[in-house]
Structure formats: C-alpha cells, structure tokens
A and B are shown apart, each in its own frame.
Chain A
C-alpha cells in the first residue's frame, strides 16, 4: 500500500506544498503567492490535496517547515527548520550536492551537506537586503516584472554598481541611476551582482564545496545565478522545482518518520 506524505513550506512570501508517494515520487505540488499569517497555507494545502485527488486522512505523516511552520501546530505532525528541509530536498534532486544556497523572500541561507544531511549553516544577519524582497522592490521601481529581471539583466552591456547595503537606500540609488538615463538592463545586472556579492560572503563563511546547488524562488532569476557563478567561481546548479525544495525536503523527512 502506498505511503503518502505531505511537506508544507510556509515562507514569508509564498506557501508551498508537495505530496510524495513512497518517498520517491512527487504526485502533486502547489504554490500560493502569500505566506505566513495569510490564507496562503490553507489554500496551498487544499490545492495540493485536490491536485493529488487525496484527502488529509490519506497522509501518513505531515511535516511543516518555513518561517510560518509553527502556525500549523495541530495540523502538522512535526515542524523542522527550513535549513534541514532545503538541504534534504536539494540532496534528493542533486545527490552530489555539498553546498546549498537558498535565497528566499527574506532569508538567505547557505548550508553545508555531508551524506545528504545538513551539518553546518549560515544565515543572513542584520537585514534582508539581497533577498527576494529586495528584488521585488527593485522590480517595482524599475517598472518591470520580477520574472523578467533575469532576461533583461542578460541584455546588459555596461557595468553599473549598486552598492547600498540597505534595500531602501538601494532603491534610491536605482532611482538616481534612472534619472541619469542609465540603461535599465545595466542597472538590473548591477542589482544581480549586488545580491550575489552578499551571498558569496555568506557562502565563504560556511565553506564552498562542489556540487553547489541554489534553491528558492530567486534561483529562477538566471541573472542572479549567473552573477553568483562568476563571483563564487563554481558552477551553480538549479532545478525547475526550485521553489518547492523546502516542501520536498519536508515531505521526505515526513516519509522517514512514517516508514519507521
């Protein structure tokens, strides 16, 4: 009889779910663009169950992760940090992984993996500059869609430095560049390099070891991935399932619990 497990990742900006069958096959997933403290988690759970054609009672084990994981106490069987879950999910997708870089809505994490499990990590400190929120703000002031940042940044022909460490001050810097008629694509490329620079510093504190995998929503931005590769000096691998890696890891840990 199949064992179904549900992994729920309630982030700051999005709620993601994955249902796994026998710890191997992703049978359904869902993503709602709002996260902790909203209707997002409930809607994501309902949608993934509907997509799978299953009910809550069919789940052998439910594990929650992410910033809003504790709001699911009573519904989920266990909560784990997104650190371990991203590490586990990345290992499932890339069995050779040793360094995972996750840029989420407001967190940046770098995790060191040994034998498929996280053994050390670093997270962003002091502020959320360089995270998904930072890119949201920049996209808004540049009047482009967040999803287009990667494509536009690739068209850059000139180096532009965005040096402010504060998101709000960086926004002012971008506005000032626009006022000087700097090309948007060059500004976007500068923003990507600024994000990468912050992450690279964090990565070196943990130690970078191949294979390097990037997870989280920002990994969909090819410009950031490219900038990270250049500054890190290592190839950075991503997956089309990048936004679901945390939920996938949670579902995998849930399977481990269910099958004991």
Chain B
C-alpha cells in the first residue's frame, strides 16, 4: 500500500446540523452515565488544547494502561455509532468511499477514516481531536487492524497493536496468555514514552479496580432484565454501552452504573418499568443495533409489545480479573474472537436466564463476523432453545443497507410465530 502523506485532506466544514427536539427527562443514573461519556470527549479536547497527546482506541484495547498514565483516549467506534444515530453516517461513509475506501468495509471504519481525513461531522457531541497515537486490539474483529493502520499512516503517528488471535477452543491456553501478556508489557513501554512518564503500579492497580467494579456494576444492571416484566427496555442497554466502551476504567462509570442499578431495584420493588409499553413478548436482539434506524427498529417492537431482554453485550463486557495474566485472559473473550461454541453458549445462557420467547438476528452488512456466523447461530438457537428466530438485513452505521418494509415483515412474522409457539406450549402443558 502506498505511503500516505502526513497531512490530511483539507478540513471540510460540516453542513448545518438538523434541528433537534428537546430531550426527554432522564433518571439520575442515566444522566450520570451520559455525563461520563460527554466528559470523555471534553477531556480529550482539554488535553489537545493543553498540548498533551490524545489517543484513539478500539473498544476492547486494555483501557487500564492509558488510564493509569493519565492519557486522554477517545473511541472511534462510539463516535461512529453516535454519528450514525444522528443521521450523519451516510454522508461520512460516502466521503470515505469518495476517498477510495470500499463500500463493503465496516461503516464505523468508513466514518472514522473520513473523520480522520478531516471530514467534520454534524453531530457536535461526537467531534473529537485528531489523534497523536492509536491503540488497536483486534479481539473484536480483524477490520480494526487495517482501519487503525490507515489512521496511523494518515497522521504519521504511533500505532500500538495488540494482536489477539482467534481462539478455536473454549479455554484460553497459557501460551496464548503469554503472547498477549508480552504485548501488554510492550504496549506499556510504548505508552510510557508517549506519556513522558513511567507507569505508577498503584495507579494501574486503581484503574484495574475501577474497570472490574464497572464490569460488575454493568453485569448487575444487565441482570435486571431477568425480571418478568423487565424494569427497563433492553434498547436502553445499547445506549449505556457507550460507557463500558469509552470509560470502563473510571470510577465515575462504576458509580453511575451502581446508581442505575439502584433505580432498577426500586422499579422492581414498585412493579414499575421504564419500558414505554406493556411487555407481551421478550426477545434477544442479536448483534449491534442499526444506529441510523433506531426509530424504525423500535416501532414494530413497541407496537407488538416486544421488549429486548437479552443482548450478548452483557457477558461481553462483564469480565473481571486479578492480575496482568488474568487480564490478558479476559481480553481474549470478545464475542468475535471466541469459538462458535463459546459464543452460542453465552447467548443461549442469557436467553434462558432472561426468559426470551424469540430471537431477532441482525445480519449486519458492516460486520463480517456479525453477518457471517449469524446463519449458523440462528440455526443453533432454533434447535437448542425451541423458540422462533427471525433474521433481517441491516447495518450498524450505513442506512443504505436497511429496508424498513423488509424488517417490518420479519418482525411481524416473528411475533406471529411467538404467539403460535406460546399457544402450542400451553396446549401441551394443558
């Protein structure tokens, strides 16, 4: 691949942002979680203004290292999701395609590469400073590898890579742990150079404690979906994921999730819920939401009383550890780097625990793993769980790959199948 010039394309001003409606009031827990994410972006701008280096990181790069070194880090995946949700994804994807990036690569990557090249977004809350270093861990996918390499070349900046090979077994071997631990140690050395200081072991320990506390609090929040009816909509969990992605290592994140958990506890005691409709059916939503089309996704679910009470992100970000080796082991467990047996096991576990009636599978055009193995996943869910499963085509960030009419038919079919399944079960038991 030809070397890219250090200078990015001339910055392009964003078109005027669409007029937004006044936001709905939210609970203190939700407000605290939103503030955590806003603060991450604000801290990056502050660091840039003060002349301190800013990093862009993949969502499951060990955040504890940068946290311990007081390095400001922002997350292109979260940025792209926000840009997609605010309907600026298509323009940004098109900008990347105009630069020569293929329409078949991840929508998050296209949005991020366009932004990295100087194309500004209309979503003001997701504007972030250009990077001085990039942190990439390919435990979530292999597209990251080239995506981050491209950013590093655009800006001529250090790329710190942690390679987590795909694991075809359920257990993580000692040699795999050693391979990853070695890369952690090397990443620490490289980041110490960037930060201009040695890492304080106490600060690192504190960052790990916060990350573990956040993971436990996140899992506690997710577990509330086991109640029937659930005290919240599973779609809310997708929004709260922004915190586990961007701020896992911060004590404020743990505290915010703990506050949310206490609110959910109250809802359970009072028999109330934040779900804006009576829950008639419970489903697992498999995959990343279609951020540009959230309204269209939600509409038929609401119309039919379908609550999302299971998502794989619950176990995916709920990992805890004691030391660097167990941390290395934990970072091997991203949904797309584990074998299909492990992935199915996680999902079927939450389907059972969270008492779902059906599964809605998003065949995500942007994501090769999250479309490639979906057919086999769906087949296994149907066979193992005995509940109806429906798939639909969509995209996490590029609205051109989603068709509302097609989605509506599939959701309606799923609802009818769940209704019939319930009648059949009742007839058998009766």
Contact = CB atoms under 8 A, between A and B. Distances in A.
Given A81-B416, A84-B416, A115-B424, A122 B409 contact: no
B393 A81 contact: no
B412 A81 contact: yes
A82 interface: yes
A92 interface: no
Contact of A118 (B382, B392, B406, B413): B413
Contacts of A126: 393
A175 interface: no
B340 interface: no
Interface in A111-125: 114-115, 117-123, 125
B424 A114 contact: yes
Contacts of A122: 391
A114 B388 CA distance: 12
A84 B421 contact: no
B218 interface: no
Contacts of B416: 80-81, 83-84, 118
A67 B409 contact: yes
A205 interface: yes
Interface residues of B, number: 23
Contacts of A121: 388, 390, 413, 417
Nearest to B406: A123
B420 interface: yes
Contacts of A115: 424
A118 B412 CA distance: 12
A205 B375 contact: yes
A42 to B, nearest CB: 20
B100 to A, nearest CB: 23
Contact of A123 (B375, B409, B417, B424): B409
B407 to A, nearest CB: 11
Contacts of A125: 363, 391-393
Interface string A101-117: 00000010000001101
B366 to A, nearest CB: 14
Contacts of A80: 412, 416
B405 A119 contact: no
Contacts of B421: 119
Contacts, number: 55
Given A114-B424, A125-B363, A205-B379, A120 B417 contact: yes
Interface in B383-430: 388-393, 405-406, 409-410, 412-413, 416-417, 420-421, 423-424
A80 B412 CA distance: 7
A76 to B, nearest CB: 14
Contacts of B363: 125
Nearest to A121: B413
Interface string A77-96: 00011111000000000000
A119 B405 CA distance: 21
A85 to B, nearest CB: 9
Nearest to A70: B408
A107 B393 CA distance: 13
Contacts of B379: 205
A119 B409 contact: no
Nearest to B375: A205
A83 B419 CA distance: 13
Nearest to B383: A207
Nearest to B390: A121
Given A119-B388, A122-B391, A125-B363, A82 B409 contact: yes
A81 B417 CA distance: 10
Q: Which of A80, A82, A117, A120 has the most CB of B within 10 A?
A: A120
Interface in A175-205: 205
Contacts of A107: 409
Q: Which of B382, B390, B393, B420 has the most CB of A within 10 A?
A: B420
Interface in A32-85: 67, 80-84
Contacts of A81: 409, 412-413, 416
B375 A83 contact: no
Interface string A3-36: 0000000000000000000000000000000000
Interface string B343-385: 0000000000000000000010000000000010011001000
B50 to A, nearest CB: 49
Nearest to A66: B409
Contacts of B375: 205
Given A107-B409, A118-B416, A125-B391, 9 more contacts: A80-B416, A83-B412, A83-B413, A84-B420, A118-B413, A119-B421, A119-B424, A120-B382, A121-B390
27 contacts: A67-B405, A67-B409, A80-B412, A82-B409, A83-B409, A84-B413, A84-B420, A107-B409, A115-B424, A117-B420, A118-B416, A118-B417, A119-B388, A119-B417, A119-B420, A120-B388, A120-B389, A121-B388, A121-B390, A121-B413, A122-B391, A123-B391, A125-B363, A125-B391, A126-B393, A205-B378, A205-B379
